[in-house]
Amino acid sequence: MNKEEVIGKKFFLDVGSLAPVEVKVVEITDSKVMVEYLNSTSGRVEEFSISDFEYFAMIKIESYE
């Protein structure tokens, strides 16, 4: 998936809590993915490194550089 396809998309991430958390991608920079939590802690925003996000979401974000 390229960056434009990922922004705004919802994912379930298994980050070690009791159940996967639902997040929406709000921004992607050269090194970070910012997500907004949707249900568990609504409104919370968290940053992941691109590699960590790819691991938790089980996707590959293609660079267009």
Domains along the sequence of the chain with CATH:
3-57 (2.30.30)
Question: Rounded distance, CA 38 to CA 30, Å?
Answer: 24
Q: What is the mean pLDDT of residues 1-12?
A: 94
The model's pLDDT over 41-62, given as tens digits with 9 standing for 90+, comes to 778 999 999 999 999 999 999 8
Confidence at residue 55, expressed as pLDDT on a 0 to 100 scale: 94
What is this structure's pTM?
Answer: 0.86
